Chains A and B, each alone.
Chain A
Amino acid sequence: MILAQTTNALPDNTGYVAAAYLVFFALVLIYVVIMASKLARFERELTELNDLADERFGAGAPASRDPAPAPEEPARR
C-alpha cells in the first residue's frame, strides 16, 4: 500500500502517521480509563448509600419477594 516515494519526504513516513494517529487514540482511551475509575467510584458509593438506606428505612422486606418491586418514590423526572 505504501507507494515508493520519490519526493523529498523522509524515508519512514508511515512511522510518523502511525504515531500521530496513536496520539489521538491514546487521548480517547485515556478518557475511557478516567471514566472507568469514576464509574467504579460511583458504584461503590451507591452501594454504600443503598446499604445506608436499608439500615434507615428497613430492609424493604415486604418488597423483597416481589419479582418486579414497585419504585418507592413517586415518579421522578
Chain B
Amino acid sequence: MLYGTRLRALSIATLVTMTAALALAFFYAPMDADQGFMQKIFYIHVPMGIVALCGFVWGGINAIQHLRTRDPKYDLRSYVAIHLSLILGAGVLVTGSIWAKASWGHWWVWDEPTLVSFLIVFLLYATYQPMRFSIEDREKQARYASVFAVTAGAFVPLNFIAVRLAQAYTHPRVFATADGGLPAKMQLPFYLSFLGMTLLYITLWRYEMASKNTSAKLRSLRRKLAGDDAVAPAGRTAAPSLPTT
C-alpha cells in the first residue's frame, strides 16, 4: 500500500482547517469571562490532547490487527501512531503547563485530573521505545510491542476514570459558562480546531509511513542492484521495518 498518495490533499485540508480554526478562535470567539485572553490556549491544547489519546488507541487497534494477522505492516502502523501521539502528548503537557502557569501561577497543578491522567499515560508510553529497543529479535520485538500497545490502549480509559475519581474537581470551566455548556461562538473554532488537529495527525502519520516505506523499498532496490553485500546490515533499532523482498 502506498501512503503518499493523498498526502498533498491532506496537507492542504489540514492547512485550511487549522488556519480557519485559529482565525476564528482569535477573531470570532468571544473572550472567556473567567480566564480572559489566556483561555485561547484551550483551542489547541484540548484538541491536541484528544487527538493524542485517540492516536494511542488507534495504535492499540493496529496492534490487535498485528497480533491477529502477524502482518508486519500493522506493527509499523502501530509504531508510527504511538510515536506521533507521544510527540503530540509532549506538546499537550507543555501547553497544559503554560496554561496552568497562566491560570493559577504554578507550572504544574495536581488539581486537573485530565492533565494528571495525561501525564501518567505519557509516562507509560514513554517506555514503548526503550522496550522495543531492548528486544533484539525483530519478530519478538514486534509481537511484544503489540501486546504492550494493546495493554496501554486499554489502560487509557481506565486511568482517566481512576484519576477523576481520585479528585473531586472537574476539569476547569473550559466547557462551562454560566449555563454550563460551551457557548456557541466558542464551539465552532473548537470543533474546527479538533478537525484540523485530526487532519494534522493523519497527514503526519501518512508522511512517516511513506517515509518508512520508501526507506524499505530503497533498501530492497539496493539489494537487487548491488547484491546483498552492499546493503549495510540492519543495526539494532527500536523502529520496525517493513520486510524487504
Query: Is B188 an interface residue, CB under 8 A from the partner?
Result: no
CA separation between A10 and B101, bound complex, in Å? 9
Check if B44 sits within 8 Å of A21, measured CB to CB.
yes
Shortest distance from the beta carbon of B66 to any chain A beta carbon, whole Å: 24
B196-229 CB mask vs A (1 if < 8 Å, else 0) is: 0000100010010001001100100110011000
Which one, A9, A24, A31, A35, contacts B38 given CB within 8 A? A9
Which residues of A sit under 8 angstroms from B45, Cβ to Cβ? 20
Query: Is B105 an interface residue, CB under 8 A from the partner?
Result: yes
Query: Is B132 an interface residue, CB under 8 A from the partner?
Result: no
Check if B222 sits within 8 Å of A16, measured CB to CB.
no
Check if A31 sits within 8 Å of B102, measured CB to CB.
no
Q: How many residues of B contact A (CB 8 A)?
A: 36
Among A3, A7, A17, find the residue whose CB has the most chain B CB atoms closer than 10 A: A17
Check if B207 sits within 8 Å of A31, measured CB to CB.
yes
Check if B36 sits within 8 Å of A24, measured CB to CB.
no
CA separation between A77 and B204, bound complex, in Å? 24
Check if A45 sits within 8 Å of B38, measured CB to CB.
no
Query: Is A63 an interface residue, CB under 8 A from the partner?
Result: no
Query: Is A14 an interface residue, CB under 8 A from the partner?
Result: yes
Contact residues of A between 10 and 31, Cβ < 8 Å to B: 10, 13-14, 16-17, 19-21, 23-24, 27-28, 31
B31-50 CB mask vs A (1 if < 8 Å, else 0) is: 10011111011001100100
Shortest distance from the beta carbon of A10 to any chain B beta carbon, whole Å: 6
Which one, A10, A23, A35, contacts B211 given CB within 8 A? A35
At the interface with chain A, which of B86-94, B111-119, B140-148, B164-172?
Answer: B86-94
Which one, B38, B87, B90, contacts A16 given CB within 8 A? B38
Q: How many residues of A contact B (CB 8 A)?
A: 28
Among B31, B36, B215, find the residue whose CB has the most chain A CB atoms closer than 10 A: B36
CA separation between A27 and B226, bound complex, in Å? 38
CA separation between A27 and B91, bound complex, in Å? 7
List the 4 closest pairs (A to B, CB-CB), nearest first.
Answer: A16-B102, A20-B41, A13-B38, A20-B95
Q: Which B positions have Cβ atoms within 8 angstroms of A? A: 2, 22, 31, 34-38, 40-41, 44-45, 48, 87-88, 90-91, 94-95, 98-99, 101-103, 105, 200, 204, 207, 211, 214-215, 218, 221-222, 225-226
Q: Which A positions have Cβ atoms within 8 angstroms of B? A: 2-3, 5, 7, 9-10, 13-14, 16-17, 19-21, 23-24, 27-28, 31, 35, 38, 42, 45-46, 49, 52-53, 56, 77
20 CB-based A-B contacts, threshold 8 Å: A5-B37, A7-B34, A7-B36, A9-B36, A9-B102, A9-B103, A10-B102, A13-B36, A13-B38, A16-B99, A16-B102, A20-B95, A23-B94, A24-B44, A24-B95, A38-B211, A38-B215, A49-B218, A52-B222, A53-B225
